[in-house]
């Protein structure tokens, strides 16, 4: 039982990173109508920026904000120079984002190298609660994720901006007539999702070493999470991330560990086929117009 | 996904071979003269290429181009004609390649007997992978195919001795008929080119046959096609199977050319590169996929780029093509050619 609990808490911290990336994808895909396959690379870049800053002697938590800012700028540039022109043809945007992910991955390999990077534990403490060892950094990762999820959820469902955003998703023309700057909202959502990817990257490198190839592994999990939950649905992304995290933890402990990655892929294919709108329902993805 | 969007998604209309006169009768129209001239020129070049003394490196690049282009013709059929993109095509190639390698290792069956088995199994697998596309479209389906590829790699890696696990499998050389030594690179080149020409001709025939017209109808307006009595689901799966057959042939040729295969050859990234090549070359013009394969295979060699630089170059090329030439490089060239001819004709008329 102790092992189970420990495994559960560990998988919760892994699920946190997955939730962050899934939330970014779900917002960008479901609300901005852009399928960004390079999102995993955004996360990887965030991790690499964190690594560079920490190696330069910056405190981890400051480096985290640095990574968020850097990836936010990256997202802004990508939206302005690339995705802006394919808003009416989501399919072309998707293919373009594949190109972008290839570019980012190889630029990072060229600028740094292919070797995996890791940073020393920002907080190397272990808390013992009721006989269960909890690694402090993992708990902090979970806490940060909880806060970010709460901010995003209330921002989208309760705030003025969230309401305006959802209005422009459900009816672009009417929203524009009501004075909502729809295009600016698209850019805004894209930047916000990218910032989340930067945060995810920073938290990820605090937990495990990452390589330039991490992005391509993470992206599939991110898509799985966002599609399982339903596009544009923040709560859905959390549920999706927890489901995947649990499946991983349990299969690593009780199943065949070498098939761990396969389970989440199978779960994703099955859900995509049976419920394309996601478990909790969401928008139908990029608009057809 | 509306029919309108689907047409947008593929290419700008007007550059395709499908812009034929409507109401033509007969099973297969006679190809126009410029098609025949172009075909003969390409055939002559393919036959003559080894006599220019291209050297070992260029000849092997040409072989790589050959079997890649065969797979691309399959993908182009599915994407350009039926309008369904997938990023799982390398996985289908892998089914063909592994079928051949497993037959060779377990039962000692050689290339010629394994060829139909590879093609059949790949077609079957492609049809199965295509099934979800009847229910989910667009990006959702692309993600499913991506997952399929990733799953296949995991399965091949965990397959133990049967699939050779992470190290993969080896195969012997092809036993050539009439004492032709196919281990010799030049003879291998001719075999691959023969297969390439066959798939080019097949693509032409499929696109211009009543079947091609049916696919065209489905792509342009699926509800209408269904309303006039076309079984759209059946034809969609059919085109997947056809495209899979091309991939299977490409896979077995690749296996016997490399003589050693391993799971990473068939993962998600090789699939992405195949999709990239089709987009780069253009899916609908007849020589688009061939052009895409040539550009991607020869660019690093001609430009003197290392693998990382050339991957960055592909990525940038893809972005430029999508933003500037949505019909691909060959579509762009074709448009240029047509506008020149048009100008000439206008000038003649005065």
**Is residue A288 assigned to a domain?**
no
- Stated as kind and residue range, the H or E segment containing B296 is helix B288-303
In a domain, B313, yes or no: yes
Yes or no: say if A121 and A207 are a contact pair by the CB < 8 Å rule. no
Place of tokens 């342009």: B220
Mutation target among A102, A114, A231 for the B interface, most CBs of B within 10 A: A102
Would you say A206 and A60 are in contact if contact means Cβ atoms under 8 Å apart? Answer: yes
Host domain of residue B86: 3-8+29-349
Average pLDDT over residues A44-70: 91
CA distance B42 to chain A (A): 30
The pLDDT tens digits of the residues spanning B50-83 come to 777 777 778 888 888 888 999 998 888 888 877 7
pLDDT of B275 higher than 80 = yes
Average pLDDT, stretch B125-129? 89
Report if residue A118 sits inside a domain.
Answer: yes
Domain-located, residue B125: yes
Confidence label for B24 from pLDDT (cuts 50, 70 and 90): very low
- Res B179: pLDDT: 65
What CATH number should be reported for the domain holding residue A109?
1.10.3470
Residues 6+ apart with CB under 8 A from A158: none
Q: Which of A41-50, A83-92, A248-257 has the highest mean pLDDT?
A: A41-50
- Distance (Å) from the C-alpha of residue B70 to the closest C-alpha of chain A? 21
Which residues lie below 8 Å from residue B32, measured CB to CB, with a gap of 6+?
Answer: none
Averaged pLDDT for residues A49-65 = 90
Query: Is A206 among the domain residues?
Result: yes
A289 in a structural domain: no
Task: Give the model's pLDDT for residue B5.
Answer: 43
The pLDDT of residue B349 is 66
In tens, the pLDDT along A196-214 reads 999 999 998 988 888 888 8
Q: How many CA atoms lie within 13 A of A30 on its CB side?
A: 28
Measured from the Cβ of residue A272, the count of other Cβ atoms closer than 10 Å reads 22
Query: Contact A161/A155 with Cβ under 8 angstroms?
Result: yes
pLDDT at B46 over 50: yes
Does a structural domain hold residue B262? Answer: yes
Residue B332 CA to residue B345 CA, distance in Å, equals 20
Please report whether residue A111 resides in a domain.
Answer: yes
Residue-range definition of the domain harbouring residue A205: 2-274
**Which pLDDT does position B212 carry in this prediction?**
83
Neighbours of B305 (CB within 10 A): 15
Interhelix angle B111-130/B138-157, rounded to 10 degrees, is 140
Q: Is residue B13 part of a domain?
A: no
B74 found inside a domain: yes
**Distance between CA atoms of residues A204 and A208, nearest Å:** 6
pLDDT for B16 beyond 70: no
Average pLDDT score over residue span B208-226: 84
Whether residues A261 and B150 touch (CB distance < 8 A) is answered with: yes
Q: Is the pLDDT at B25 greater than 60, yes or no?
A: no
Average pLDDT in chain B: 79
Q: How far is B218 from chain A (nearest CA, A)?
A: 18
Count the domains in chain B.
Answer: 1
Residue B9, pLDDT score: 40
Give the list of residues 6+ apart from residue B234 with CB closer than 8 angstroms, or none. Answer: none
Q: Which of A105, A262, A269 sits opposite B154 (nearest CB)?
A: A262
- Helix (H) or strand (E) segment spanning residue B260: strand B260-261
Backbone angles phi, psi at A133, to 5 degrees: -80, 125
Select from B142, B147, B268 the Cβ nearest to the Cβ of A94: B142
| Residue range A35-47: mean pLDDT, rounded | 90
State whether B319 and A100 contact (CB < 8 Å). yes
Judge whether B296 is closer than 8 Å to chain A, CB to CB.
no
CA gap B138, B131 in Å, rounded? 14
Q: Report how many domains make up chain A.
A: 1
| H or E segment to which residue A129 belongs | strand A126-129
Mean pLDDT of chain A: 83
């Amino acid at each position: 039982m102790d092992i189970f609990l420990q495994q559960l808490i560990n998988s919760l911290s892994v699920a946190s990173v997955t939730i962050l990336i899934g939330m970014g994808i779900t917002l960008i895909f479901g609300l901005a109508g852009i399928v960004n396959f390079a999102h995993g690379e955004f996360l990887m870049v965030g991790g690499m920026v964190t690594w560079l800053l920490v190696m330069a002697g910056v405190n981890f938590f400051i480096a985290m904000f640095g990574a968020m800012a850097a990836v936010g700028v990256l997202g802004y540039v990508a939206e302005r120079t690339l995705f802006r022109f394919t808003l009416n043809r989501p399919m072309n945007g998707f293919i373009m984002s594949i190109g972008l992910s290839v570019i980012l991955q190889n630029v990072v390999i060229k600028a740094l190298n292919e070797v995996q990077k890791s940073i020393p534990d920002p907080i190397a403490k272990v808390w013992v609660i009721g006989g269960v060892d909890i690694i402090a950094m993992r708990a902090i990762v979970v806490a940060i994720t909880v806060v970010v999820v709460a901010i995003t959820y209330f921002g989208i469902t309760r705030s003025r901006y969230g309401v305006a955003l959802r209005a422009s998703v459900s009816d672009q023309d009417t929203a524009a007539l009501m004075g909502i700057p729809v295009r600016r909202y698209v850019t805004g959502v894209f930047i916000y999702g990218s910032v989340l990817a930067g945060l995810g990257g920073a938290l990820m490198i605090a937990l495990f070493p990452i390589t330039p190839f991490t992005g391509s592994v993470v992206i599939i999990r991110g898509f799985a999470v966002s599609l399982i939950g339903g596009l544009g649905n923040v709560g859905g992304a959390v549920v999706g991330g927890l489901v995947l995290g649990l499946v991983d933890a349990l299969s690593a402990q009780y199943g065949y560990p070498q098939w761990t990655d396969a389970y989440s892929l199978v779960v994703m294919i099955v859900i995509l086929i049976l419920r394309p709108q996601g478990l909790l329902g969401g928008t139908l993805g990029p608009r057809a117009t | 996904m509306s029919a309108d969007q689907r047409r947008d998604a593929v290419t700008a209309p007007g550059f395709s071979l499908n812009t034929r006169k409507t109401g033509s009768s007969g099973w297969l129209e006679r190809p126009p003269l410029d098609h025949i001239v172009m075909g003969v020129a390409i055939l002559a070049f393919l036959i003559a290429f080894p006599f220019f003394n291209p050297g070992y490196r260029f000849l092997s690049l040409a072989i790589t181009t050959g079997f890649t282009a065969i797979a691309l013709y399959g993908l182009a059929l599915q994407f350009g004609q039926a309008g369904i993109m997938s990023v799982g095509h390398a996985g289908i190639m892998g089914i063909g390649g592994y079928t051949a390698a497993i037959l060779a290792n377990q039962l000692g069956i050689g290339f010629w007997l394994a060829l139909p088995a590879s093609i059949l199994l790949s077609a079957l697998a492609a049809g199965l992978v295509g099934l979800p596309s009847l229910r989910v479209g667009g990006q959702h389906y692309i993600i499913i195919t991506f997952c399929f590829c990733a799953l296949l790699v995991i399965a091949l890696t965990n397959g133990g001795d049967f699939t050779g696990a992470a190290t993969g499998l080896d195969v012997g050389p092809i036993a050539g008929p009439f004492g032709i030594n196919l281990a010799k690179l030049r003879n291998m080149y001719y075999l691959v080119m023969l297969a390439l020409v066959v798939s080019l001709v097949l693509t032409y025939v499929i696109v211009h046959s009543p079947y091609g017209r049916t696919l065209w109808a489905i792509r342009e307006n699926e509800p209408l096609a269904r309303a006039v009595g076309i079984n759209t689901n059946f034809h969609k799966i059919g085109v997947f199977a056809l495209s899979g057959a091309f991939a299977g042939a490409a896979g077995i040729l690749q296996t016997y050319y490399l003589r050693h295969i391993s799971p990473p050859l068939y993962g998600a990234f090789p699939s992405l590169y195949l999709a990239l090549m089709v987009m780069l070359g253009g899916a609908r013009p007849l020589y688009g996929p061939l052009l895409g394969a040539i550009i991607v295979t020869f660019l690093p060699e001609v430009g003197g780029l290392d693998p990382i630089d050339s991957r960055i170059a592909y990525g940038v090329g893809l972005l430029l093509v999508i933003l500037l030439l949505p019909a691909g490089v060959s579509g762009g060239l074709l448009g240029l050619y047509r506008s020149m001819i048009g100008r000439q004709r206008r000038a003649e008329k005065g």
